[in-house]
Amino acid sequence: MDWVDLPEAMTSGRQTLTFTVTNVEAGHTLPTSDVERHLQITARALDDAGNVLGTRMERIGTLYKWFPKTERVEDTRLSPRETRAFTLEFDAPARGNITLSLHGTNNRISPENFAWHKLEGDRWRAGCSSTRARCARFVDGPTPVL
């Protein structure tokens, strides 16, 4: 996952930035294994004070309806070597810094089913099994992205 063609500087006003998620090395759809396994991708833009200017969340994986009859509702897994692009929109302030973050988690079970199965406890905890983050920063003036 990565940001695409970030500008070296931003002006105030509406911004639309693109990020991609790619199944680079797996020779199968991603994610795979557990039927509830899914990737949660979150893109954010923050101002100097840490206020959220914009957020985009994408869930990549399968989604099932379990009751009363089991059926697959959605399948958004990535095929081998597939790249998918998404956009993040936000209003950039006239002054100050903007911090961009791109964060991914690999989840084995949905939060709803985790709670339904009462898995919280000594051996299990809510959360993700792995994370990866990419950050970029824009500062006043034509300063390059870090």
- Output the pTM of the full model: 0.78
Residue 23 included in any domain: yes
Domain of residue 80, residue span: 2-138
DSSP 15-79: EEEEEEEE--S-SS-BS-SSTT-EEEEEEEEE-TT--EEEEEEEEEEEEEE-SSS-EEEEE-PBP
pLDDT digits (tens, 9 = 90+) for 2-61: 999 898 888 899 999 999 999 998 889 988 867 888 889 999 999 989 999 999 999 999
Q: What is the dihedral of CA 78, 25, 136, 101, to 10 degrees?
A: 40
Lowest pLDDT segment from 35-44, 78-87, 108-117, 133-142:
133-142
Listed residue (55, 42, 40, 59) closest to 105, CA to CA: 40
In a domain, 58, yes or no: yes
Q: Which residues share a beta bridge with 1?
A: none
Q: What is the CATH number of the domain that holds 10?
A: 2.60.40.10
- Going by C-alpha positions, the residue among 44, 41, 81 that lies closest to residue 61 is 41
In a domain, 30, yes or no: yes
Return the higher-pLDDT residue of 3 and 122: 3
| Residue 96, pLDDT above cutoff 70 | yes
Kindly state the tokens that stand for 3: 């940001």
